[in-house]
Homo-oligomer: A and B are copies of this chain.
Amino acid sequence: MTRTDSSAFAERLARAADQVGALLTQLLSDEPRQHEQTRPTRLLAAMRHGVLGGGKRLRPFLVVETAALFGGNPQSALHVAAALECVHCYSLVHDDLPAMDDDDLRRGQPTVHIAFDEASAVLAGDALLTLAFDVLSDEACMLPAEVRIGLVQRLARAAGIGGMVGGQALDLAAATDAPDEAGMMLMQAMKTGALLRFACEGGALAAGAGEKDVARMSRFGEIIGLAFQLADDLLDVTSDLATLGKAAGKDAGRGKATYVSFNGEAAARRHLDSLVAEACALLEPFGKDGRILADAARYIADRSH
């Protein structure tokens, strides 16, 4: 497998992160928008803490680059990317709550309920999820109403009971009732996979790609979702607090079911390679225009080392 052309890729990843960060900062300004009454200071601060604290912005990058592949308007793509990042960050804020994963640290910083309080973390998450749909519905997206409403629906399905939140529920259930391999795969496809899939699907939809291309990118997103989770599980086996900024080995400590626990590390690494190959094959029709997304697939897999 070719290694990532790391300098060009790193540059584009950083650029997308900067751009979506700037838009998120603007969306979380003090100024109430039309039909809003006021923006309470502490809640706004908690939302900013949850969403502006860095992170690689991988999902926004995937939206932006998939949209670019189909010649989409970069501003439209950034709005879709910002909406998706709001959903991703809200899920982290709620996932870190004492009643859920009970994490005090994320990316080396105190989590929202530690930096603020539990009630603020619940509400900040709620407000971020709501903001995502506000952003997608806004004319500032510069997309026709039909496209915006389609994106609202796809994001809602990717994030809701049949997607990410459903996956979180299955993950909770797995703590007391260990799933079989198929159950574990389904849980991961929902919890982690659904939003990564939306990133690629949403980028294509925002760019007005045809049905076949949307389906192809949806499949691409699904595969890199699997690769992402597998890399995470492999990383969890080997890394420590210093490199991850969270309590590593925690999943393994809980005896959590993963592809690695079912099939062993060597098989997992082989499977990861085959996923990257499949992702790259899906991009072949696009020639060198698809190179940056192929790099993304390799980057995701490389996280396992």
A173–B94 contact, CB under 8 A?
Answer: no
| Chain B residues, Cβ within 8 Å of A99 | 97, 117-119, 121-122
A133–B149 contact, CB under 8 A?
Answer: no
Among A73-81, A157-165, A228-236, the one that faces the other chain is A157-165
| Chain B residues, Cβ within 8 Å of A160 | 36, 127, 130-131, 134
Report the minimal beta-carbon distance from A282 to chain B, rounded to whole angstroms. 19
Asked if A146 is at the interface (CB within 8 A of a chain B CB), the reply is yes
| Chain B residues, Cβ within 8 Å of A154 | 35
Contact of A40 (CB < 8 Å), options: B126, B131, B155, B161: B161
Contact of A35 (CB < 8 Å), options: B129, B157, B166, B173: B157
Contact of A152 (CB < 8 Å), options: B121, B137, B163, B194: B137
Assembled-state Cα–Cα distance A118/B140 (Å): 37
B131–A129 contact, CB under 8 A?
Answer: no
Report the minimal beta-carbon distance from A118 to chain B, rounded to whole angstroms. 4
CB within 8 Å of B: which A63-107 residues: 90-91, 94, 97, 99-100
Asked if A47 is at the interface (CB within 8 A of a chain B CB), the reply is yes
A130–B156 contact, CB under 8 A?
Answer: yes
A97–B122 contact, CB under 8 A?
Answer: yes
Scan A164-182; emit 1 where CB is below 8 A from any B CB, else 0: 0110111011000000000
B137–A153 contact, CB under 8 A?
Answer: yes
| Chain B residues, Cβ within 8 Å of A44 | 161
Asked if A304 is at the interface (CB within 8 A of a chain B CB), the reply is no
Q: A32, A121, A153, A194: which has the most chain B beta carbons within 10 Å? A: A153
B122–A157 contact, CB under 8 A?
Answer: no
A43–B169 contact, CB under 8 A?
Answer: yes
Residue of B nearest to A166 (CB): B40
Q: A39, A153, A161: which has the most chain B beta carbons within 10 Å? A: A161
B123–A122 contact, CB under 8 A?
Answer: no
Assembled-state Cα–Cα distance A39/B159 (Å): 12
| Chain B residues, Cβ within 8 Å of A131 | 156, 160-161
Assembled-state Cα–Cα distance A184/B37 (Å): 13
Asked if A186 is at the interface (CB within 8 A of a chain B CB), the reply is yes
B126–A125 contact, CB under 8 A?
Answer: yes
Assembled-state Cα–Cα distance A125/B127 (Å): 12
Check A35/B152 contact, CB under 8 A, given A133-B133, A168-B123: no
| Chain B residues, Cβ within 8 Å of A56 | none
B161–A36 contact, CB under 8 A?
Answer: yes
Asked if A148 is at the interface (CB within 8 A of a chain B CB), the reply is yes
| Chain B residues, Cβ within 8 Å of A130 | 129, 156, 159-161, 165
| Chain B residues, Cβ within 8 Å of A111 | none
| Chain B residues, Cβ within 8 Å of A126 | 90-91, 94, 125-126, 129, 165
